[in-house]
Structure formats: structure tokens, C-alpha cells
Amino acid sequence: MTTINLNGKSTRVDADPDTPLLWVLRDTMQLTGTKYGCGIALCGACVVHLDGQPVRACTTPLSAAAGKKVTTIEGVHAGRVGKAVQAAWQKLDVVQCGYCQSGQIMSAVALLAQNRKPTDADIDAALAGNICRCATYVRIRAAIHEAAGALS
């Protein structure tokens, strides 16, 4: 058994410690907002926060999350930054197909938690590993600026 703090709640997980966190979240915990994209940490669809830092859940073993705070797209709305980012996403109608958006939002929240006034270059750097096949990058960047404005 591994204990993690999952979206603010202490949770015991009965899974092999080598199991990727993505599969623990999706299959064991039934939290399907975190998506499987590539399985090799290149696309960013599986981004979650581990102690506030964005990580790729597809290559992060459960053992790396033991005793730590894991925040998924289902729990990010509990914080002020997460609410602002999600509101901006809706206001600017960022989503097209939507598959990558949970990872995009998680990366955006991590950026704005550290930098409330990001430049376009800051945004591009923070989200460089998040691929959007629908190419909504302009709307994603605009939404991050919108959220930053709402937080200031």
C-alpha cells in the first residue's frame, strides 16, 4: 500500500509501486481527466502536479508520489490559480477537441503559481512540452494572459 495526498485527501493506493501514476489515477482511482497521449513524457497530456510541480504521470512511478501531494485536473479547481485558469479557458473558448487540455491547464496553473505576469516567451517555455494537435496555441496563450490578469 502506498499513501498519497490526492487532491487534498489522504489516499491509500493498492498498486505496485512501479505502476505509472497515470494508470493509478485512471484505472485505480477512476480519475480519467488526466489523459494518456504518448506514454513517453513527450506530449504533456498526462501532466499532474506532484508537490506543486508539473510532472508527466505516464513516466512517474507511484513510488515517486508516496507521501506527496498529487493534484490532478479534477482537483486543480480548489485553488485560486486553478479557478482563474479554468475560467479563462472557458471565457476564451480555448478547447477544440479537448484531449490535451487537462495537461495544458495543469502546466498553465504551475506557471502562474510561480509567475503571475508571464511574457509570451515565459508561456511558450512553460508549455513547450505540451502538444496540441488542434493547434490552439494562440488561444492557450491568450487564456494564460487572461488568467494572469484576473489574478493581479
pLDDT of residue 117: 97
From CA 29, how far away is CA 66, in angstroms rounded? 15
pLDDT of residue 146: 98
Yes or no: say if 133 and 97 are a contact pair by the CB < 8 Å rule: yes
Give the confidence band of 92 by pLDDT, cuts at 50, 70, 90.
Answer: very high
pLDDT of residue 87: 97
3: enclosing H helix or E strand: strand 2-6
5: enclosing H helix or E strand: strand 2-6
- The rounded mean pLDDT for the chain is 97
- What the block records as the C-alpha cell of 111 is 506557471
Yes or no: say if 36 and 92 are a contact pair by the CB < 8 Å rule: no
- Residue labelled with grid coordinates 486543480: 76
pLDDT of residue 89: 97
Check the CA dihedral 134-131-112-66 and report its sign.
positive
What lies within 8 Å, CB to CB, of 33 at 6+ separation is 72, 73, 74, 102
What is the three-state SS of 22-69? HHHHHHHCCCCCCCCCCCCCCCCCCEEEECCEEEECCCCEHHHHCCCE
pLDDT of residue 31: 98
pLDDT digits (tens, 9 = 90+) for 127-144: 999 999 999 999 999 999
Yes or no: say if 20 and 59 are a contact pair by the CB < 8 Å rule: yes
pLDDT digits (tens, 9 = 90+) for 96-124: 999 999 999 999 999 999 999 999 999 99
pLDDT digits (tens, 9 = 90+) for 6-46: 999 999 999 999 999 999 999 999 999 999 999 999 999 99
% of residues, the chain, pLDDT over 70: 100
pLDDT of residue 115: 98
Domains and CATH numbers, the chain: 2-71 (3.10.20.30), 76-151 (1.10.150.120)
